[in-house]
Structure 1
Amino acid sequence: MLSGFKVISFNHFHAGPMAAQLLADMGADVIAVEPLDGAFHRNWAVANHFVAGQSVNLLTTGRNKRSLALDMKSEAGKAVARKLVEGADVVMENFRPGAMARLGLGYEQVKAFNPRIVYASVSGYGASGPDRDLPGQDLLLQARSGFAARTGRADGPPTPAGPVIVDQHAASLLAMGILAALLSRERTGQGRLVEGSLLQSAIDLQAESMTAWMNGARSATSRGAHGLASWCGSGPSGIHATADGHLAISMAAPADLAVALDLPELAGFDTADSFSNSAEITRIVAQRMPARTTAEWLPLLAARGIWHMPVKDYDELRDDAQLAHLGVFIDAESVEGAPITMLNHPLRYDGAAPPVRFAPQKLGMQTREVLGELGYGADEIDALLAAKAVGAPPAPSSN
């Protein structure tokens, strides 16, 4: 769908690389520009885990991209970057504000010679303001935005989400903004600056509960009591311990719960009490759930039409029939020949997800190829390599 659009990605950690990968999945030619020693997400890995030398962070955000290793601090490297950007449709970066301008490739500088450019930046706190230079990292933004304060149990501490949901949401928002800007450019001929921040992405994740709070809804505690999932939720919506695991119950009428859970004390509550007496209803349910196993509760809840779901951990997901039907997990080979598993593109188009054209690449694997497309001859490319202005893997041995 995005075939013919060229994206130059100067990104170095999750939100930017993930947004670029979404565009690459849709068919854009994404050239990932990294320093000669590789971008941060190539050299650092969650769980400190690498597969055949590739970080799992690269496996997360590196597919369907070509790799160019470039020393952007050298004059020759800057010249290569300038040529790349001259022919680009989209430039993406997620350095701290001002870093690209110091390299001569800020938005106003690029716009001067490529007025059709869609220039997309995502930073921790935005491109301006008193905190623009603070380090932006998912956990820090969960703390800053109120997210952690509103997550977890009332009798426990503020709780961060385990996955990097702020970065992930920021990536999705940035990709959406880029697509809108490209559509506008195709209609008007004018490029645009698209700016995102982890801070506002963290706020946006809380749109429902935060809008309620800002408009007068209040609670006795920042987090839900007795396992209630949210301070603003209806009882007993939350995750409750059973005899052998945990089970989520969502938005159930007290009358139905009274029958399904054999809790006559709930019969006196009406639907409105689900909010006004949410803590008490949740307490009663939470005390009842350990009386049976998860498997024993399932048919009883289903019989009353109560929304519920057993809590699964990662090891159980490969056996999930719906995930298998959707093709969520892709088993493939890395460029080193090691078996890897990637998560598929999260959308379908005409009934199918876009194909994986190639796995995450070695650093600089397409350096020669990209430079050739920019008009550099073989001797010029060799000279750039010798000067360490660019980098590429060693040529395969002819023996």
Structure 2
Amino acid sequence: MSVFKKINVLDFSNGPAGGLTSMIMADFGASVIKIEPPKGDSFRKMPSSLTWLRGKKSIVINLNDPIEYKKILPLIKEADVVITSSRPKNEKILKIDKKSIRSINSQIIHCSITGFERKGNLSNIPGFEGLIAAKSGYMMTFEGTVDRKGPVYSSVLLATHAASQIALQSITAALINKHKTGLGESIETSLLRGMIPIDTAGLFITQIRDRMKNSLPKATDPEFGMLPALGYHPIPTKDGKWIQLAGLVSHLFHSFIEVTKLQHIYNDLELIDPRDMNPEAKLRLAKIIASKTITKTSADWMKLFIENGNVAAEEWKSTLQSMDHSQVIHNKDVWTYNDKFYGKIKQLGPIAHFSKTHSKHPGRSPLINEHAGYFWKSKKLNSNNKTIKNISNAPLSGTTFIEFASIIAAPYSATILGELGARIIKVEPIEGDNFRVGANPGTGKQIKGLGSIKTTSNKESICLNLKTKEGIKIAHQLIKKANGMLHNYRPGVTERLSIDWKTVRKLNPNIVYVSAWGYGKNGPHSHRPTAAPGVGAAMGGPLKQLGGKLPSVYKKDIDKSIEMARIINAANPGSSDYNASHMIANATLIGLYEQALSGNGQEIDCNMLAANAYANFEHFIDFPNISKNKSVDKNLYGLGTLYRLYKAKKGWIFLAINTQKDWSKFLSILQNQIILNKNILKKIPVNIQQIKNIHSLILEKIFITTDANSWEQIMSKQDIGCVQADENLPGPFWYSDNHVKINSLVIKKKNPLWKNILRHETLSHFESYPKRAGEQSSAGEQTDIILKELKYSQKKINDLHISRIVDTHTDR
């Protein structure tokens, strides 16, 4: 069944952030009307608009015209959900803000996606991806991918994708709550909040370094070097291609050593453990590995790795090439359909695979104003929608969810559910989640697991030995009482642990059972391990980050090949995990909404490849005569004169202007700059349409006259998109930036290991339920409490501890 088939969505958003949100709702049956300005959505020129506009109806209404505005009033009355993406100031002017919309329909769910939140000088500048990535320090994380210092343009629309998925998570949670209470909701998120997930430990590392200034390594310590962990190393091959290793844990690296027949390295005690190796030993082993891997082609190595089944590795590909990945094809994660205007189109498929709540391609994208005059049929009020007043619980209050997952992708998806109010019980191995003891760059060997604060907050924890009958019995008792459960084991493991779908549905027929696979439930790669770097390389985002071209392999100069590996590694961040987290969370929420409507449970299969296809939505599309997206310049500054990085007198700025109005204001501001030679401005066209790449040379001369911070202050006062791009890395940005503080995007929370710690705020703000950011639990902290809920006596609990069936830790 199509879970959103009775939901009307009125989409006022411009571009893919809101577009992807309503697209997925359309895929699951929602009736989506897109309200466009007279010239249509300004992002329609993106080839991917054929994806995120699919299945919608287009109506042009000039919201600035009072008479035209009246046309939306009947639509608002029949809408269940409204999505906007205007700047806060414009939203009010256009009367599509929460107050205006909900005064017409109080039961509506209003979701606003801004760029920079609602307070501060940056709140009303354009919410372009480049501006958010620059200001939040993300562009600084790519320093080293090109032969110059300073920030590097970030090519993947990470904040856009994240904001779209956060909006969908929030809307679906609000729909679940509305089904229970009849209450509408006002939700706010932003592209800036979309950057929160990928800061795994930066905020925590920064503040711990600040607390312990005299007892931690300096920032220039070798641990800050660019040579990746060997399990995550890009390796060169004989035919000039690169393979990305993705073995986070030691045994996967040792499988790689076995396949490459390099076991002789174990004669050197310094080379035995890839996770505990000094920089000199790491470099030495990297050279040994590279010398070996250039003896075979990429295809030869991949054949061996796949046959072994325990080597995490993927060949570097473009996003377009990723559509032909054998596992992507097997999973049916590419939808193909014939469009009468564009021919055969290949594009994003389903977000996940559901046993009951199926999605389907909702049809082609509409022409501008193709559905002028269209109107929804009047809906009778549902008897379930009797409004219950004075509700103070969070949207998922009353939902219990069991997590059998470790590291990042799946656990963080459960964190998202916890932030939305679900009770999350994290079932950890007897020693705790491995991520709790993972190393952190810049904190030395004595401090570990700071990244796990993000993945273990808003949860209760029980450490349980699932390799024992008693441990399995406890797990089954938890499952019987749950609304849903999640695991991220490889195929076959859940059967051995007796928590597979077949077993679980007998225990709890109405449960939402979510599998977070690396590759998929079955298929040519399903048996293989993977992790963020491998998925990233396979799906094309990192290659795009390098400007679309990989560095050469130097078969006769291993040192140079190792240097190229450093560059490649710098372009492959850990964002693939969080891209997956968003999709797992959304698939789960859709399952929970179906459960709320019908009482039905079901099996849901998610995989990291499909999730990261969504993150690369801009290029995950192909059709005849497709126009090329703008490509980044060779210095990786940006996409053109008015959307790129510029060197300032001190620091760097990122400029983003795409309208004549903003361009005219920009030129007017420059005219008032005393420091500038006004003759230079005469060389710049007044008409934005006449701007060419050559004009960037003039802007370079202008921006070099003043410090980056000053440019940001001058331009933001006039709502022009110009921000400093090199002030901070992400960790220090979240820790100390004034805009973060003004918008309360970090909050202080108690912590079992650090007494208290600053953590990021939730990914969205609900007007009715503002306080949802919870605390971290230590491994097994609630073990005894949970067992008592299951009616275990204290004596029995003590016995379980003694026999190591359960455990509690205070050091992780």
Tell me if both proteins adopt one fold, taking TM over 0.5 as the criterion.
yes
Q: Which deviates more from structure 2 when the two are superposed, residues 267-276 or residues 22-31?
A: 267-276
For 1:115 and 1:201, the matched residues in 2 are separated by 28
The CA deviation at 1:22 is 1.4
2:56 pairs with 1:62: no
Q: Which deviates more from structure 2 when the two are superposed, residues 217-226 or residues 326-335?
A: 217-226
| Inter-CA distance 183–154: structure 2 relative to 1 (3 Å threshold) | same
The CA deviation at 1:12 is 0.8
Query: Residues 180-329 of structure 1: matches in 2 within 5 Å?
Result: 180-208=173-201, 210-211=203-204, 214-216=207-209, 220=221, 225-226=226-227, 228=228, 234-244=229-239, 245-250=241-246, 251=248, 253=250, 258-261=257-260, 262=262, 264-265=264-265, 267-269=268-270, 274-277=275-278, 280-281=281-282, 284-285=285-286, 287-288=290-291, 289-298=293-302, 301=305, 303=308, 305-329=310-334
2:103 pairs with 1:101: no
The CA deviation at 1:271 is 6.4
Work out whether residues 116 and 191 of structure 1, in 8 Å CA contact, stay in contact via their aligned partners in 2: yes
For 1:356 and 1:183, the matched residues in 2 are separated by 24
Work out whether residues 90 and 119 of structure 1, in 8 Å CA contact, stay in contact via their aligned partners in 2: yes
2:163 pairs, out of 167, 170, 184, with 170
| Inter-CA distance 264–301: structure 2 relative to 1 (3 Å threshold) | farther
Q: Which residue of 1 aligns with 2:172?
A: 179
SS at match of 2:234: strand
Structure 1: state its 5+ residue gaps: 46-55, 229-233, 375-399
The CA deviation at 1:239 is 2.1
For 2:189 and 2:202, the matched residues in 1 are separated by 21
Supply the AA of the counterpart residue of 1:243: K
For 2:122 and 2:89, the matched residues in 1 are separated by 13
| Inter-CA distance 359–275: structure 2 relative to 1 (3 Å threshold) | farther
Structure 2: state its 5+ residue gaps: 210-215, 379-812
2:134 pairs, out of 143, 165, 180, with 143
The CA deviation at 1:15 is 0.6
| Inter-CA distance 179–282: structure 2 relative to 1 (3 Å threshold) | farther
Work out whether residues 16 and 49 of structure 2, in 8 Å CA contact, stay in contact via their aligned partners in 1: no
Query: Residues 3-82 of structure 1: matches in 2 within 5 Å?
Result: 3-42=5-44, 44-45=45-46, 56-82=47-73
| Inter-CA distance 148–271: structure 2 relative to 1 (3 Å threshold) | farther
Deviation track 1:292-334 (CA, whole Å, cap 9, x = no partner) reads: 3223434665649332222223453343221112222222222
Deviation track 1:356-390 (CA, whole Å, cap 9, x = no partner) reads: 121101111111222x858xxxxxxxxxxxxxxxx
Aligned residues: 356
Supply the AA of the counterpart residue of 2:270: F
Q: Which deviates more from structure 2 when the two are superposed, residues 163-172 or residues 338-347?
A: 338-347
Q: Which residue of 2 aligns with 1:130?
A: 121
Deviation track 1:19-69 (CA, whole Å, cap 9, x = no partner) reads: 111111121111000012111122x32xxxxxxxxxx13212101111111
TM-score norm. by structure 1 comes to 0.79
| Inter-CA distance 83–174: structure 2 relative to 1 (3 Å threshold) | same
For 1:3 and 1:373, the matched residues in 2 are separated by 13
Q: Which deviates more from structure 2 when the two are superposed, residues 288-297 or residues 70-79?
A: 288-297
Supply the AA of the counterpart residue of 1:125: F
Q: Which residue of 2 aligns with 1:387?
A: none
Supply the AA of the counterpart residue of 1:350: S
Work out whether residues 252 and 306 of structure 1, in 8 Å CA contact, stay in contact via their aligned partners in 2: no
| Inter-CA distance 173–14: structure 2 relative to 1 (3 Å threshold) | same
TM-score norm. by structure 2 comes to 0.41
The CA deviation at 1:223 is 6.8
Q: Which residue of 2 aligns with 1:53?
A: none
2:361 pairs with 1:356: yes
- Cα-Cα RMSD: 3.0
For 2:165 and 2:276, the matched residues in 1 are separated by 33
Supply the AA of the counterpart residue of 1:184: N
